[in-house]
Structures are given as C-alpha cells and as structure tokens.
Amino acid sequence: MTNGAYGTTGAGAAMAAIANAIKASGAIVRLEPQDFLDILARVAEPLVVYSPSGLLTRHKYLTSYKGLVFFAASKQLLPIPESAEIIHAKKIWVPDM
C-alpha cells in the first residue's frame, strides 16, 4: 500500500512527520562544534540553549544568528564564552533529514 508521493505508508508517515517538524521549528542549520563556536564569537551576548549528554547522546547546543537557528552536537563540552546566557534544557530534538 502506498501513500502518495512519500512511498509506503510507514515511510510516508515518517517523512510527513519530519516535514511538519521542520515547518514548526523553521530552518535549523547543523554545524560542526568549532563552526558553532565561531558563530558565538560573532555575537556580543549570545543566547545558547544547552542539553546535557545522556547515556547514548551528545552534548547539544542551539543558538540563533541573523534569523537562523544553529545546532551543534559534541561528545565533549564546548567552551561557551562567558558572555553567553545559557538556558539548560532537558532535551533538544532536531529533525533528521
């Protein structure tokens, strides 16, 4: 059984869920950790959302710059600038594409 342009029903439902998540959250730009730190260095007082690493996850970070949202994940804690305001989140989830 197929579901329109998305192929099979299960795969189609997954793609639709991802598309809806992207629409709800806007564009999210994935960066390598050093590139994320470079973005933070461009802002006088950056706002960073941080989610700690779990058993199988990495440290996750979000920030915004010029209307875009930037995301990075790292096995190690990143050296966030002291000028940054940090919001601790229980979990950060970004859609996979």
Amino acid 1: pLDDT: 43
Residues in CB range of 13: below 8 A, 6 or more apart:
3, 6
Amino acid 5: pLDDT: 53
Specify the CATH number of the domain 27-88.
Answer: 3.30.720
pTM of the model: 0.73
Tell me the one-letter amino acid at 56: L
Q: Where are the domains of the chain?
A: 27-88
List pLDDT tens digits, range 17-62. 656 655 665 688 999 999 999 999 999 999 999 999 777 778 999 9
Task: Please check whether residue 83 is in contact with residue 44, taking contact to mean a CB–CB distance below 8 angstroms.
Answer: yes
What confidence category does residue 93 fall into, taking pLDDT thresholds of 50, 70 and 90?
A: confident
Which residue blocks in the chain are alpha helix, DSSP H? 9-25, 33-41
